[in-house]
Amino acid sequence: MSDGSSETVPPAEPAGERDVLRTRLVDLLGCRYPIVQTGMGWVSGANLTAATSAAGGFGILASITMTSDQFADAVRTVKERTDAPFGANFRAGQPDLDERIRFATGEGIRLFSFAGAPTKDAIAKIHDAGGLVMPTVGARRHAEKMAEWGVDAVIAQGGEGGGHTGSVPTSLLLPQVVEAVGDQIPVVGAGGFHSGQGLVAALAYGADGIAMGTRFLLTQESRVPEAIKGDYTKATVFDTVVTTALDGAPQRVIRTELIDGLEKASIVTRMPKAALKALEFRKQTGTSLKELWAEGMAMRKDQDLTWAQLAMAANAPMLIKTALVDGDASVGVLPTGQVTGVIDDLPTVEALLQQLVAEARATLTRLTA
């Protein structure tokens, strides 16, 4: 359990009135602030997740790029550093999902987040084990489908968001999703958020909180190498691009010579390299060839991928690891939200959350004065 050294004193709440920052999301997840740190592959390890939850936000472990043993170690490390609640991120089609659900719920993890849509069966199993489900959606109809299937909350990520993203900006998507499902479940806004003013804007749209990836990547507790963090802070809002060259699906990254080369290369030249990287990813995550094949076939069916896109999809995680873990941006990929163009500092997670909450309360005071 935590020794209390990382705990913080929250900013003063308005006296004699309801605290606007205590939303349905806060009550659902058991955190102090309606701010979620997303489960970024290769980035959201035990250090970042524990720091976020201990400081009052809600941290999510990126189990999707961990072996089962690494995931177990990460969960126990987080629990040693804080008694605050946290979640974990999963792939809908990963072969050992049932085993990880059993382990995670047994360790007291309540929230299971998914970058894509989980199956109805997975949602039911998580609920039966006492867990909560929160997928990320990029369209109103996807939110409606997830609510119909019984998820407990959704993250609505606009086109400004990093990694796989849609084309609708947050300012249009978020109110659409709130209108569609906000009376049933909490809605969390994502894509472009980095400040307390943004948090208030999300609440004004009817959301119950915000989720941030790039802003948490650019903190002191993030495991990303310092030189790579420098590539992010030097980027402008014009230095990101949404490309399909990585895995056939739109993905926002920092534009580099590698990205330019991938976009110009033919699928024929990309395929052999992608297949080799897919096998390397298998070793990194402890996935057997049989499991890799089964997951690939599920992806091909669910996402209507061609064989070429499937090979590229398996390749993408290793290109990202090359940059975010190994620190080589010349042959790696830098997934990012467009918000990287307005971030130029690397605060601690605690300082970041305190700043966001203070900005939010000051904004609310200004608007109601």
- DSSP class per residue in 219-260: STT--S-HHHHHHHHH--TTSEEEESTTTSS-EEEE--HHHH
Q: In the predicted model, what is the mean pLDDT of residues 168-193?
A: 98
Strand order across the 240-243 sheet: 163-164, 251-254, 240-243
pLDDT digits (tens, 9 = 90+) for 232-272: 999 999 999 999 888 778 999 999 998 888 888 766 565 55
* Residue 218 confidence (pLDDT): 98
* Residue 330 confidence (pLDDT): 87
Residue 11 has pLDDT above 60, yes or no: no
Name the token pair of 321: 């690891």
Residue 138 has pLDDT above 80, yes or no: yes
Angle at 318 between CA 316 and CA 322, to 5 degrees: 120
* Residue 310 confidence (pLDDT): 59
* Model confidence, pTM: 0.88
In 10 A of CB 9, how many CB atoms?
Answer: 6
Ranges 69-83, 190-204, 220-234, 266-280: which has the least confidence: 266-280
User: What distance lies between CA 31 and its chain's CA centroid?
Assistant: 17
Q: Which carries the bigger pLDDT value, residue 60 or residue 297? A: 60
Give the separation between CA 208 and CA 211, rounded to whole angstroms. 10
* Residue 247 confidence (pLDDT): 77
Residue ranges and CATH numbers for the domains of the chain are 24-225+342-368 (3.20.20.70), 236-335 (no CATH)
Q: Which strand (E) or helix (H) includes residue 212?
A: strand 209-212
pLDDT digits (tens, 9 = 90+) for 12-48: 555 556 899 999 999 999 999 999 999 999 999 999 9
3-state secondary structure of 185: coil
